[in-house]
Amino acid sequence: MELKHIGRYDIKSLIGQGGMSTVYLGYDPRSQREVAIKVLPPYYLHSTKFRERFEREALMIALLEHPAIVPVYDMGEEDGQPYIVMRYMSGGSLGDKLKKGPIPLRDCMEMYLRLAPALDTAHARGVVHRDVKPDNLLFDKYDNVFLSDFGLARLRETIGFANISDGSVMGTPAYMSPEQIQGEREIDGRSDIYSMGVVLYQMLSTAVPYNGATAASVMMMHLVNPVPQIRDQITSLPPGIQAVLDTAMAKKPEDRFQTAGEFAKAIQAVTTGVQRRPAVQPPPASAGHRSKASVIPTATPPPGSLSSNGVPAAVSKANGTAASTPAPSVTPSGIQKPSSPPGGNTKAGSNSRPNPPSNRPAVGSKHRYNMPVWAWVLGVTLVILLTLVLVLWAQGVLSFPFFGASTLSASTTEVKNTPLPVAGQTVTT
């Protein structure tokens, strides 16, 4: 029986149908706008568990209220059929865009910077998407990306790893994290980050990283195979993008980016040239499930802190590479020129004195001023001559009228010509 109406909404056409939901394009006569109406498939209608999960998860998504999550307008049930009314995304899905070719790295960066806060908001409230893939990334008429299908993704966990009647595995094998494949019940937001890493790989190359003949073979690749080298296929990508993918798709959750925000900033760092690869920095101890080696991007390094390959010196050291030469300096005119190594341009094995890097002394350093030899000789000579003159003057050999030497001499002569007084005799002058 073809569905024509549900609630107050008119059904215009079928948008898509999957194993867990059917989505219609509807029209709301009250608000006079097109909407997307999601209903539970007929073969789940008689399951009380699925119906309760459908309604509860829809309410949870409605409470998230994030600009990058498809908003829920309404929810209800008619004639035993539960439904969810959401905003209609007329721009299609990311899967539709990938049919036209790869997505430029800068566009990927913009998308992830918008989606990351949405994922982090959901994860902070205990909601894990569990089915991040291109078909669940939708665009509105302004080409803004939105995350959809939170409720149904949570619904898939309730039926276990492979415990449904037709024998199929719940989830999409090409995008499932290793812990999701292994059927772990305690899955956190880092599982979504793994899936986002797979989506990024596909956006850049139009192909998923692991592709096999069966779902089981693909899932085994997620468990054991390393991340393929994407630059082997697209050489125009910056070298740092592989490190970002390796971190996002690490087999162990603690080795991945710990938040979607860290992931998005790492893409931004590689895209904008802030650094060549993410810097390894331990998270704070109070970060809960955060790992001991979280990969996050750093801010623009200060001048002189870059190694010769463009990697910050701290990152090069953390990755076992030393910065052999300093980064080029930038003159006021904007022309780059190589900087001299510390201490000047002294060559190895040379005994010559290195040229100082700058006329301005370093703060707190002591200076030694070297006087020429002639200055030392002249100074010593002047000291000797002055000493000799003072000695001769004191002995009366030299006389200096301006020092009162003549007066001193006359007074001395007068004293010498005066007879010594006899005892008891009064001397008059």
- DSSP state, residue 136: G
* Integer Cα distance of 251 and 249 in angstroms: 6
- The amino acid at 48: T
**Active site residue ranges:** 131
* Integer Cα distance of 405 and 396 in angstroms: 8
Q: Which residue has the tokens 């030299």?
A: 398
Q: What are phi and psi of 418, to 5 degrees?
A: -85, 125
Q: What share of the chain is helix, strand, coil (3-state, %, to 5)?
A: 40, 15, 50
Tell me the HSE value of 93 on the side-chain side, using a 13 A CA sphere: 15
Q: Which residues of 23-57 are buried (b: 16+ CB within 10 A; e: fewer)?
A: bbbbbbeeeeeebbbbbbeeebeeeeebbebbbeb
DSSP 241-281: HHHHHHHHT-SSGGGS-SSHHHHHHHHHHHHHTS-SSPEEE
